[in-house]
Amino acid sequence: MSQPPAAWHPDPENPHQLRWWDGHRWTASTAPSPAAVATTQIASATAPGSAPAPAPAKHKTGWRTAGIIVAALVVGGVLARLSPIAILLVATAVVGIALYVMIARPLPVLGLRSRMSGVIALGLAALLVTGGGISSASSGTAPTASEPQTFAAVRTSAPTPTPTPTPTPTTFETATEEVPVPFTATTVDDPQLDQGATALVAAGVNGVKVITYRLTLIDGVEVSREVVSGAISVQPVNEVTAIGSKAPAPVAAPAPAPAPVPLVQQGGGGCDSNYTGACVPISSDVDCAGGSGDGPGYVQGPVQVVGSDIYDLDRDGDGIACD
């Protein structure tokens, strides 16, 4: 069975008043029943000899509202002068309560019996903050939570001590640097090379020298350095170039040109006209004399081929057969 929603219900113990039901159980908050109030007013009005009830004075409500506004502004100003954190906490708490009443449910214990009272509470929070702002503006300074005003420090006349300057720290460090050591180029004579020729025997390689410094730093900034030591960690390799000194060989005399082959055909008309210089007989086959051919014709060379080499006597194709 579901429970009734939170609301004012007739008090089960007293039918002439209302009691707040929070949705789960009865609370201690009570209020007069509208029906009982109306009955009481009618009975008092119809009672013989009763005087009419005086009309409520509306001007008292206006004075009460003005008093609440002034009180909220004064409280906000006092809290702002004492501590900015205090007014922030109070205003935050009031805003939280007002939102709770407007969204969740009324708080009769605090006098907030309706959602309209939550709106009034928001107005009070705004008045507190406004009073704090007016107080801060009138004092000429805007106090913050990180810099609270200390009136005792303002009123004192004691001289402010001169701060002692902090000495600048001086430190020393050691640093190293590698610098190249250049190699040396040398030459040597080589009798195996022709005169004027050169050849690289060994390529040059730079060495490495390590220099150690002592650094002076003031406040972490280098102001000077001095050389403490220097040592060669890698020796340089010299470059060697060979220069030839061999005398050139004498130029040999050119060989005499071979004697020209005569172009006159020897042997008369019995010789083949494709050859000259010797008589190549006209035969079924002719071979060079002294060779491995089997004839039947032979010729003693050399013989120049002037036509077609029909007997295949010029085996090397230089135009001279049987040479």
pLDDT band at 147 (very low <50, low <70, confident <90, very high): very low
Its pTM surpasses 0.85: no
Domain segments of the chain: what residues?
A: 7-45+62-139, 171-246, 261-323
The strand pair at 170-181 and 320-321 is best described as: unpaired
* pLDDT tens figures, 293-321: 777 888 887 888 888 888 888 888 888 88
Question: What radius of gyration do the chain's Cα atoms show?
Answer: 67
pLDDT, averaged across the chain: 76
Class of 171-246 in CATH:
mainly beta
The residue to which tokens 């002034």 are assigned:
70
| Residue, of 104 and 221, whose pLDDT is higher | 221
> What value does the mean pLDDT take over residues 164-179?
86
Structure confidence at residue 154 (pLDDT): 42
CB 211 within 8 A of CB 177: yes
pLDDT at 39: 58
User: Is pLDDT larger for residue 300 or for residue 231?
Assistant: 231
- 107: pLDDT strictly greater than 50: yes
Q: Which two tokens stand for residue 214?
A: 């002592």
Question: Rounded to a whole number, what is the largest CA-CA distance in the chain?
Answer: 196
